[in-house]
Every structure is written in structure tokens, then in C-alpha cells.
Chain A
Amino acid sequence: MSAYTTFDRRSFLKVTATAGGGMLIGFQWLTACQPTTAGAANTWVEYNAFLKIADNGQVTIMAPNPEIGQHVKTSLPMIVAEELDIDWKAVLVEQAPLDTDKYQRQIAGGSGSVRTNWETLRRAGATVRDMLKEAAAQEWQVPVSECTTENGMVKHTSGKSLAYGALAAKAAELPVPEEVIFKAPADYKIIGTRAKSVDLDNIVTGSQQYGMDTKREGMFYASIVRPPAFGQKLDNYDDSEAKAMPGVTDVVRFDDKIAVVGTSTWAVISAKAKIKANYSAAAKLESTDGYMQALDELAAKGSAEPRRQDGNAKQAFRQADKVLEATYQAPFLPHAPMEPMNFFAHVQEDGVELYGPTQTPASARRETAALLDIPEDKITVGMTRMGGGFGRRLRTDFVLEAVQVSKAIKAPVNVIWTREDDMTGGIYRPAYVYHYKAGIKNGELAAWYLRAASVNSGNGTRQDNFPAGALNNWQVDYNDYASAITTGAWRAPHHNFAAFSDESFVDEVAHELGKDPVAFRLELLEKAKSRPGGEVKFDPDRYAGVIKLAAEKAGWGQSKPTGVYQGIGAHFSFSTYVAQIADVSIEDGKPKIHRIVCAVDCGIVINQSGAENQIEGSIIDGLSHAMYSELTFKNGQPEQHNFNAYRVMRIGEAPVIEVHFVKNEEAPTGLGEPGLPPVIAAVGNAIFAATGVRVREMPFTKIDLRPKDNLLGELIK
């Protein structure tokens, strides 16, 4: 598969005499920091926003998007290097700052980095490859058709060759080609290999810098007191004791927050505890029991304007042989990345420097400009590698705090959140209640009706999820619940709950019909091809492909060790197809997960190691929250403040994970999120297979799965 493309003719070419910094990748252990090319770079030719080559042949590729652990700092430059046709081990990778003129969509979100940059990055590499080839042809005075490239060299049919470095300056004088031919996937030497993270060596030696490590001349640290309950406002406070603490230089108020400023993190977090503040309620202070009941009632109402309506579900229920009903629910969740929120800001008269962990640098700049009422071009945003984020760092509240504090104290500041601040400071995966109805007619699924409610979500459903389009009658209603508890995107937003509930309810229907859950899904996907219910937002064949591959690899339907049962979950999100099969047994009334077998169709896999890692991690993340995690509230205050009360999965609970990718030549899609949603249903469905108990709420470990006769035995004891 190759493609022609038209190059956007922009004056990218720029020759600079400055040697760029950057991280050398792919070097041998113990010979770290020795570039594989000889001599120092004197002149760099910057061909486009992504690529520069030095006269010594050193190639630097810019990584445009924020790196949050999804390995785009590695995978995006690999795409450029592939088309440029160089040795990946000789490439330097540099993290680009925010530059909306040079780059598009510098966002770590929506699993979109690879998908949205695929064309651009290939073009960035391929145009320069062709310019180097043309430069060599002119140098040798031969037709360019007699020249080829390989590993950073242009070669002629006569056997002559020239290194890219020797051609860099000459190539820069040539016009940028308007059309290029991309490599065929069969010719890939870098894409599809197991490339290690470009920051790997810094990470394992501790020298990797994160936002928490930012330190500048004259910089202060700040820790912020926020209202303890959602819905409260700050009335007044006494900071006299805090101000008297060693290392504290200032206490400043903005909005409903109080910032304690000082010379070390320890000084400011110690002094923060000495602030005496009084608050009053400005909105309803909610508790878990109350809002779950309110969500349930809101969901049951249905809505006048459905999110999707095919046919007439309500009428179909009246004509049905049987109607199944079930209610699913899930709690609020914090993101809890290992690196708590933090950000550096230096607000000065003539401009603002922002630096730190952000998934959306452009929003950080835009909102800072609005807050300070200054033009955006007065603000620079540098991006650090992030210690996780899972969607939390799509928000800018912590950036704006740093801006407010720096402005108030007229000095650079790093605002540091404690774990408690991070867990109680808001922006959560919202709680959900979904009411389902399925109509069975003549042994088939004839109608599906979902009435949903969630919190501050706009639309807390994914109304086009499978099996939408596969049946005639389909309706999805949604009602939003307004709350002072703040919510936002959490890895695979809404999919992370909708896939659990949709795929569990599909399983309920399969069992009601006496059909094998895998066969039933394949049957529905086959039906979807004739589109009896309108729009089908996924490719039924690719969807079926991952289900079949997972079933085959997991030995679905074959005999299992005693006490081990299987469940399946499959889901399409962010343009990627994923099916997972869980092997589960029940021990002491709790599920034990032995193995997850996963099949993924994300088109072309860019980095095999990074891709597998994303899926493995998504599975652990999904299982962690399915099994253990919940954030509860009392009178507006979160009841879990740290990892002692808020439980996440630990190593001893992690199952064996097998990941299989469908091999095809489809354009690559993202992997940061799609691996998470289906695993929750896979485990829930395996629990049903093992016990006959249908789990309809998370976390699963709250549910006692001991057989009733055992339970009776326990009571008698």
C-alpha cells in the first residue's frame, strides 16, 4: 500500500548553527551518550517542523505531542524516521514545546496522537528523503530514478553512496517536492519493531525530570488549601501560625483558595496544616447514598429527546415474548496518577513562562491568556514528561493556580499538590446509573432501550455502541445530573462504564436466549452488516475479527482447569477494536483473575513493545477499578484521601496477560484508551459463568460471591 500526497508548501527550510539538545536513543548499554555518528554537529538544517539533520549526519526528530506514558515520544518520531529511511538507533528525539503554527493537535487525549499525525509525519520524513535523493542525483549528475536510500545513505546503481549528512546543506536548497510516495508496509524497517522508550535510560537511572522536579533560580514552592467539600466557599481564615513556620515566605488568597508559599515543599505542606479556615455552603453538599438514589430516579425518567432512536423500542416491548430488565451502576473515581498535579509558572511584565505536566498545552496557554488578559503570544508552554494523567491533566485548574500564585508573589513558583490534594481536589470519573430493557421476540433480540444518568457530563452515554444498528428497535435516553462535585474525562471517557454495562447486558441476553456469548455477538455483527437499525458506526468484520482471534487464543469453549470460568468483553472505541477473555475463579467469595487474553485491531502497529505495554496497562487499569476502587462522599467531602483508603491493583493481584494484534495494513489508530473498557465486562461475565451471580455494580470485591449454602454455613458457625 503506498500513497501519493501533496505537500503543503511552507517555508520550513532553515539552517541553524546551534546544536539542538535532545535525548539520544538506541545506544548501547555502558556506552551511553556516545553518538553513533562521528564528530560534533556544526550546522543543522531544519527541513520542517519535525526534522533536522546536522552536517555530521546526526538526525534530530521532534516529538510534537505531550508524553504521558503512552510512548508517543517514541512512536511518533519512529514514523518520521521510517519514511526518512535512517537507522533508528542514530536518531535524537527532542520534545517540542507548544507551537500551534508548526504542529497540529498537541494533545494527549482521545487516543489521537498516532491517528491524527500519521499522514503528516510520514510526509515530513518522505519529502526530506526525496530531497536528499535529488541532491545526490545532482551531485553525481545521474537520473534520480537510479538512486535509492537505505539507512541514512543515498545509493546509486553504480555502487556509489553518500551519507545524508554530506547532502544535508545541498538538499536544503532544493524545492520541497509537492508529491511523495510513501513506503509500502512490507518495506518497513522501523515501524512494527520493538523500540524501547526514548526516555528509558533516564527513567531507570532516576535522571528523568518530571514536573515535580522543576527548579529555577529564585523559584518558590506553593501548596494550596482548597475548600474541603464540593459546594463550599471560603469565608475567612487565620494564617498567623502558618506564616510563623520556618521556610514560609508568604500566604496569598485567590478565589476560594489559600496558597502557602515558601522555600521547600516540606515547609509549605507542613505550614498548610496550620491554616485555620472557615467555609460555608454555597451549593448542596452531597453524600454517596443521596446522589446514587437521585441518579437512579433521574435515569428512570427517560428523556423526551433520545440520544439515538431506531425503530420503536417501546412498541416492540409490548409485542415481545419476554422483556429483560437490569440496572447497572458505578461510583466516582479519581485519576490518581503517580505524579500528583503540579505546575511551574513565572508571570512577568513582558510575558509568562509555563512549564510542566499538561495533556493540553494549548488550553493552558489560552486560559492563562484569558485569566491575565494578555495575548497568547506572550506565553510559552514547555512540556515535561508526565507521571501519568489518565485525563486529569486535560484540565488546567492546576496551571491557573500556578499563574495566580506567581502573579501575586511576583516570582517563579512551582505549585505542588499532595496526594491528598490530588485525590480530594476534584475532576472525577462521574458516577453512573444505567437502566436497560431488552425485548425478546421469536428467540431473537428485537428491542433495546437504555435510560441513563450521570453527573455533569453533557452526554454520559455512548449511544452508538454495539449492538446499535444490528437490531430494528434501539433507543438511548440520557439525563444529566448537576452537582458541585466536579467531573471530567477519565481514561476512555464514558466508554469505561458503558462497555462494562452494555457488554454485560449483551451477555444477559445471550444467556436468556441460551446462546453462547461469543456466537451471539458474532451473530449480531453479521446482522449489523445489513443495517436493519440504521447507522452502524463500526466495521462489523473488524469487530468480529478481534472476537474470533481472542476466542481462538483463549481456548473459548474448551475445557478449563476445575473452577476456572471464562467471560468475554468486546468494544470499539477511539477507532480501535478490542476483545478480551477473562479466566476467573472464585476464592473465598471473591473473584480471582488468572489470565486475560486480548485481541486488538489498531491497524498498523507502530511500536510493538509500546503497543503491548499500553494494552497490558489498560487491562490492569480496568481491572483495578472494576475490582477495588471507589470514591465516596459525605456532605460534599471525599471519604478516601490517599492510597491507604483508596485501593488500586497491586502486583500480587495482576493476572497473566496475553496480547495479540490483528495484522493488516489499515491506517494506525490509538492505543492509550481502547484496551481498558472491555476487560471489566469480561471479568463480570466470567463471574456470572462461575457463580450464576450477575455483577451489576463496581467495585466487584464489594459483592459476596459465596454460594448461598456456604453463606448459611458461615452464619451457623
Chain B
Amino acid sequence: MSALKLSINGKSHTIEVDENMPILWALREVVGLTGTRYGCGIAQCGACTIHLDGEAVRSCSLPVSAAVGKKIITIEGLSAKGDHPVQQAWAEVDVPQCGYCQSGQIMSAAALLRENPKPTDEDIDIAMQGNICRCGTYTRIRKAIHLAAEKAR
């Protein structure tokens, strides 16, 4: 166990954890931010996607020690009032079914739009390929990302 200092959603947290614990479980069970979801544990489904220094990463497969000195942004911190263009577009299109994968989908989409403010369908397919939705909301996800791109302009 070590005391690790982390920057999460703009706030500094010092937590006592096994430093091999994946960021996912530290966020969910130590810090109490449960919006980041467990889906596979091996970086195959994308439900656990967060931003680490602005880049979309799978928090289930990175030890918490790898986040020291970096800025973690989770779904709870993506926007102060839940009004990031991607969140607004997701609501407008009524994307979710069960909703479980959607935190990860939204975090991947937000990272895509920062890199590429006007993605094509093909860009979206490539960037979102790592996020599984078993309910099958893919066509709505594509639509919502285009809408978010418009809103951000």
C-alpha cells in the first residue's frame, strides 16, 4: 500500500492503495466515482474509458501508479454542469438503452472531437471501434457525434 497523489477532475486526492490496482477500481471504490464502468478488465470493451492528460485510455488496464503526475478526467468531470457538447448531443439523440457502456462511449467521443472537430463516419468508426455497446446503439452514437461536432462549432 502506498499513498498516491492524484489529480481527478481538477481536484487533488491522496489515496492509500495497492499501486498495482487499476485506475478503474481506485476511481470506483476508493475515490467513489462510479460513473467509470467495469466491462471486461482487458481493454477490449471501452466501458472504463477516461481521459489521462487529455487522451482517451482504458482505466481497467493501467495501474493507478501510472496516473501520478497526470490529469485524470472521468465522466463526472467532463463538464461542470453535464453540458459538454457530447453529453448534450447524447441526450438530444436519446442514445442509450441500458446505458452501462455510455460513459465510456461519451469519453471516447469527446477525445475524438478534440482531435478531430469534424469527423467523417469513417473517422468515427475508427475512433469508436474500441467501445462495445451490446444494446446496439451504434447508429445513434454516430448521429450524436455528428451533432456534437455541430454544437461545438
Contacts and interface: CB of A to CB of B under 8 A. Distances in A.
Contact of B139 (A204, A616, A642): A616
B59 interface: no
Nearest to A641: B42
A: contact size bracket: 35 or more
Given A29-B91, A266-B29, A203 B136 contact: no
A212 interface: yes
B74 A69 contact: no
Interface stretch (A278-286, A318-326, A384-392, A440-448): A384-392
Contacts of A206: 33-36, 74-76, 103
B132 A648 contact: yes
B132 A338 contact: yes
Nearest to A245: B18
Contacts of B25: 264-266
B39 interface: yes
A654 interface: yes
Interface residues of B, number: 58
A69 B134 CA distance: 10
A69 to B, nearest CB: 3
Interface in B69-111: 74-76, 81-83, 87-88, 90-91, 94, 96-103, 106
B129 interface: yes
Contacts of A657: 139
A419 B100 contact: no
B134 A336 contact: yes
A617 interface: yes
A69 B133 CA distance: 12
A194 B136 contact: no
A69 B38 contact: no
Contact of A339 (B1, B33, B41, B100): B100
Contacts of B102: 203-204
Nearest to B145: A651
A1 interface: no
A419 B98 contact: no
B100 A643 contact: no
Interface in B1-31: 1, 18, 21-22, 25, 28-30
B59 to A, nearest CB: 12
Given A419-B41, A644-B44, A620 B34 contact: no
B134 A652 contact: no
Contact of B82 (A70, A197, A201): A201
7 contacts: A32-B82, A69-B98, A200-B94, A201-B91, A204-B90, A206-B36, A648-B134
Interface of A: 29-30, 32, 68-71, 194, 196-197, 199-201, 203-210, 212-213, 215, 221, 246-247, 264-267, 269, 336-340, 385-388, 390, 418-420, 609-610, 613-614, 616-621, 624, 642-644, 648-652, 654, 656-657
Interface of B: 1, 18, 21-22, 25, 28-30, 33-42, 44-45, 47, 74-76, 81-83, 87-88, 90-91, 94, 96-103, 106, 124-126, 128-129, 131-142
